[in-house]
């Protein structure tokens, strides 16, 4: 037979064999057919290969389990995935970009970069020690599943217990050129339409999942908690589903009882035209904000657009440092959410056509506060124990050059407030410069300090209160089927009896504390003498092993107990070592101590004694330190406006920096002597504005200009040193912090 005939006959024989096999399979039991059809062929399983630095994966690859050190490099990724329909299986793999237990602000580079392929999957494994663990650009249908991306890069925070530092404030307003990358991320996606991110974890970093310019994502069953800035960030991201995720304790800028600014940290961040997304059954508690939504600079300038038509259903936004929900310049729907124990439950500046239906508010300073809102529905909600339930107002004037106000009606008007239950409030309604208020069929129960305050320029107020005994009907919600729980969605909400409340938020120099390891924290001020400390952590017992630099009034106790420490001598050079015995311990860098095994932990505080002799002057434009340095020098050689001896510099203000002095145009000179024991040290300054420093009459630092808060660090040796400072503040915010730290 000819060659062509042979090939034709071979094809026919193969087809006949296939038909016979199919017929034979059809006669088998159904359970066996399923087993045969689902069983993978041995030849399809990729062989295991080890990782090497700079490796490029272009086809399905199973990485050999183990720990790999692929050093982070700011110029190139450690591992690249390139091509379409590629699966990288990292099950049992740990990739380390840097030493795992060093300070995380030194981590560099990207762990895995995906270069524009479609249908790329990464599953299993852990990636740590990078600035960005996974970076993907223009990679549609990307699937990231079952990953642990904890312990990557984050900034050192400089805010203290008693006063914050402006250095720690975040700014996510611009991301047209991927500016967000400077803040790192466990996952950063750009132009990755139809991606799915599920069953993954990131903790003890700065940012979790950051997404920009993408559509139709599915983000579910992830835990991006205990991060020092953002759990989930979205920029120009639309038509996505975010469900059953944990975004708890994404927070900075908080010290209980001292300040509660949040510094723009948040569980969920949505910026610049992020629209038509659905969020349901997520937990975003104990954040700077729970949800922070901003329409974007485009809207600010033109009045067009917004982060519109998003739906938030049965999420928990409680215990936010600032706002449980901050939603501005946009229209959205909030249905069935929980918002307890926040400064503002809702801050809704310039919101319009927005609905708040069937939500629960309790224990907030202000439950709903809306500035310049329009066409707002507040219906079927329960309000309990808020200082102010509703605060609605417009400002008397606005910047005439502001683009948004030029193109939009910005009056405060037209509120439908119906079918709500109000119980035990200081004030039910505080309204100013607002028209079209319609209150109907609301039940008012318990103690109400005032039904209404303000009342200035309130027009068209209609009040039809229901009797306190009225059973309030929930507001009807059309088409809730799209917000039902996913079939395999985890219960992400905090369980009953879980640790709750703003008082549980502890933020140290590396971010939020997760209570997985024992830790001492001051009760009151860190500068109190004697010093009172509380032992926090998992359930167990502790005992004092050694103490240097102070006397401790108790030597053992249970987690939650307090102790009093009396420092020895002037200044503070305190080191207390303890042993803990109890539950499993996971320390801030991920090291584990099994339950029932002893774990050592240390509390240290170092503040050498310095008596700073300070002199303060005021100056005017004729003696400006930058434009008229000779006149400035002459001014600070005149008699000072104020003199004072202080033990430390920890000054910050947007108003008065020092008592008895004006807020702006100040100058200061200070001099002090410090004696340092054996060791290595650094002098740290945080300034807004100019600073000069001399050590033993040698200038070691000069940042003599107008700037926002900046950190400078100067090495310092042991021994006796004479330190001189010269500082000026121009206008606006001011900050001056001086610290000596061990290295």
Q: What is the 3-state secondary structure (H, E, C) of 436-450?
A: EEEEEEEEEEEEEEE
Q: What is the 3-state secondary structure (H, E, C) of 359-403?
A: CEEECCCEEEEEECCEEEEEECCEEECCCEEEEEECCCCCCCCCH
Domain residue ranges of the chain, discontinuous segments joined by +: 3-39, 515-604, 612-742
Other C-beta atoms closer than 10 Å to the C-beta of 101 total: 13
Distance CA 713, CA 721 (A): 16
3-state SS, residue 416: strand
Distance CA 672, CA 285 (A): 45
What is the fold of 612-742? Jelly Rolls (2.60.120)
pLDDT for the residue 539:
97
Are the C-beta atoms of residues 437 and 412 closer than 8 Å to each other?
Answer: no
Q: Which of 317, 280, 316 is nearest to 479 (CA)?
A: 280
Distance CA 511, CA 533 (A): 19
Our CA dihedral for 358, 353, 390, 266, rounded to 10 degrees, sits at 80
Distance CA 205, CA 309 (A): 31
**Helices marked H in 209-321 — which ranges?**
297-302
Q: Give Rg (Cα) of the chain.
A: 30
Are the C-beta atoms of residues 572 and 604 closer than 8 Å to each other?
Answer: no
Kindly report whether the peptide bond that precedes residue 31 is cis, defined as omega within 30 degrees of 0.
Answer: no
Are the C-beta atoms of residues 285 and 322 closer than 8 Å to each other?
Answer: no
Distance CA 684, CA 737 (A): 8
Q: Which of 343, 334, 337, 439 is nearest to 387 (CA)?
A: 343
Q: Which of 169, 170, 173 is nearest to 296 (CA)?
A: 173
Cα 294 → chain centroid: 16
Question: Which distant-in-sequence residues (6+ apart) come within 8 Å of 110 by Cβ?
Answer: 72, 77, 78, 130, 131, 132, 133, 134, 135
Distance CA 137, CA 700 (A): 44
pLDDT average per 10 residues of sequence, the chain (743 residues): 37 37 35 32 64 94 97 95 97 96 96 95 98 98 98 97 94 93 98 98 98 98 98 98 98 95 96 96 98 92 92 97 97 97 97 96 98 96 97 92 90 95 96 94 92 86 74 73 88 94 97 98 93 97 97 96 94 96 97 98 96 96 96 96 95 87 95 96 97 97 96 96 97 95 93
Distance CA 583, CA 662 (A): 54
pTM of the model: 0.91
Compute CA distances 381 → 112, 337, 384, 390, 479, whole Å.
46, 10, 10, 12, 19
pLDDT for the residue 9:
37
Q: What is the 3-state secondary structure (H, E, C) of 214-238?
A: CECCEEECCEECCECCEEEEEECCE
pLDDT for the residue 45:
54
Other C-beta atoms closer than 10 Å to the C-beta of 331 total: 20
Label the pairing between strands 511-512 and 507-508.
Answer: antiparallel
pLDDT for the residue 38:
33
Our CA dihedral for 209, 203, 512, 503, rounded to 10 degrees, sits at 90
**Residue 500 exposed, middle or buried by CB count within 10 Å (0-12, 13-18, 19+):** middle
Compute CA distances 571 → 71, 199, 563, 566, whole Å.
41, 49, 20, 11
What DSSP state is assigned to residue 61? E
pLDDT for the residue 35:
30
Distance CA 675, CA 611 (A): 12
pLDDT for the residue 529:
92
Distance CA 705, CA 627 (A): 10
pLDDT for the residue 470:
67
Dump the DSSP string for 672-721. EEEEEEEEEEEEEEEEES-EEEEETTEEEEEE-S--S-EEEEEEEEEEEE
pLDDT for the residue 399:
87
pLDDT for the residue 156:
97
Distance CA 463, CA 544 (A): 63
């Amino acid at each position: 037979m000819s060659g062509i005939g042979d090939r034709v006959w071979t094809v026919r024989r193969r087809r006949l064999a296939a038909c016979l096999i199919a017929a034979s399979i059809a006669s088998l039991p159904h359970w066996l057919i399923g087993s045969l059809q689902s069983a993978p062929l041995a030849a399809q399983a990729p062989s295991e290969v080890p990782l090497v630095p700079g490796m490029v994966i272009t086809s399905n690859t199973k990485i050999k389990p183990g720990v790999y050190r692929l050093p982070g490099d700011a110029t190139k990724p450690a591992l690249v995935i390139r091509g379409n329909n590629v699966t990288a299986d990292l099950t049992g793999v740990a990739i380390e970009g840097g030493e795992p237990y060093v300070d995380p602000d030194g981590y560099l580079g990207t762990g895995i970069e995906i270069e524009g392929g479609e249908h790329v999957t990464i599953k299993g494994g852990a990636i740590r020690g990078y600035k960005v663990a996974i970076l993907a650009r223009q990679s549609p249908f990307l699937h990231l599943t079952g990953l642990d991306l904890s312990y990557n890069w984050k900034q050192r925070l400089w805010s203290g217990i008693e006063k914050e530092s402006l250095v720690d404030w975040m700014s996510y307003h611009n991301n047209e050129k991927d500016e967000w990358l400077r803040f790192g991320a466990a996952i950063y996606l750009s132009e990755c339409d139809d991606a799915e991110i599920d069953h993954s974890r990131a903790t003890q970093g700065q940012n979790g999942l950051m997404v920009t310019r993408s559509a139709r994502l599915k983000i579910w069953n992830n835990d991006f908690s205990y991060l020092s800035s953002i759990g989930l960030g979205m920029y120009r991201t639309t038509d996505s589903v975010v469900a059953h995720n944990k975004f708890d304790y994404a927070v900075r800028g908080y010290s209980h009882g001292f300040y509660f600014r949040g510094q723009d940290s948040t569980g969920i961040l949505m910026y610049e035209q992020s629209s038509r997304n659905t969020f349901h059954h997520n937990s975003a508690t104990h954040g700077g904000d729970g949800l922070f939504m901003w329409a974007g600079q485009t809207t600010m300038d033109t009045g067009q657009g917004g982060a519109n038509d998003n739906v938030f259903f049965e999420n928990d936004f409680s215990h936010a440092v600032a706002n449980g929900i901050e939603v501005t310049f946009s229209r959205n729907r909030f249905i069935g959410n929980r918002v307890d124990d926040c400064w503002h439950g809702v801050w809704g500046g310039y919101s319009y056509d927005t609905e708040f239906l069937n939500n629960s508010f309790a224990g907030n300073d202000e439950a709903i506060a809306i500035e310049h809102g329009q066409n707002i529905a507040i219906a079927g909600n329960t309000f309990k124990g808020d200082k102010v339930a509703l605060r609605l107002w417009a400002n008397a004037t606005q910047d005439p050059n502001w683009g948004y106000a030029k193109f939009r009606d910005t009056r405060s008007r037209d509120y439908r407030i119906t079918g709500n239950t109000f119980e035990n409030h200081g004030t039910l309604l505080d309204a100013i410069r607002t028209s079209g208020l319609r209150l109907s069929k609301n039940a008012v129960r318990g103690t109400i300090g005032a039904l209404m305050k303000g009342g200035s320029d309130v027009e068209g107020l209609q009040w039809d209160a229901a009797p306190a005994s009225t059973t309030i009907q929930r507001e009807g919600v059309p088409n809730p089927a799209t917000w039902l729980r996913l079939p395999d969605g985890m219960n992400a909400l905090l369980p009953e009896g879980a640790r709750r409340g703003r008082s549980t938020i502890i933020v140290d120099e590396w971010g939020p504390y997760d209570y997985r390891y024992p830790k001492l924290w001051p009760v009151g001020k860190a500068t109190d003498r004697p010093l009172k400390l509380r032992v926090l952590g998992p359930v167990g017992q502790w005992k004092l092993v050694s103490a240097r630099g102070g006397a401790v009034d108790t030597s053992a106790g249970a987690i939650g107990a307090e102790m009093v420490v009396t420092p020895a001598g002037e200044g503070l050079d305190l080191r207390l070592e303890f042993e803990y015995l109890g539950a499993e311990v996971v320390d801030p860098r991920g090291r584990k101590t099994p339950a029932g095994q002893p774990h050592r932990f240390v509390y240290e505080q170092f503040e050498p004694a310095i008596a700073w002799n300070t002199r303060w002057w005021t100056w005017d434009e004729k003696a400006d330190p930058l434009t008229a340095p000779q006149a400035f020098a002459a001014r600070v050689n005149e008699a000072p406006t104020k003199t004072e001896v202080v033990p430390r510099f920890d000054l910050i203000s947007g108003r008065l920096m020092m008592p008895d002095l004006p807020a702006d145009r100040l100058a200061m000179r200070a001099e002090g002597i410090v004696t340092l024991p054996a060791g290595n040290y650094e002098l740290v300054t945080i300034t807004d504005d100019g600073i000069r420093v001399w050590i033993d009459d040698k200038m070691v630092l000069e940042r003599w200009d107008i700037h926002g808060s900046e950190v400078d660090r100067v090495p310092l040796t042991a021994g006796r040193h004479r330190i001189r400072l010269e500082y000026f503040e121009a206008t606006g915010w001011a900050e001056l912090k001086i610290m000596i730290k061990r290295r």
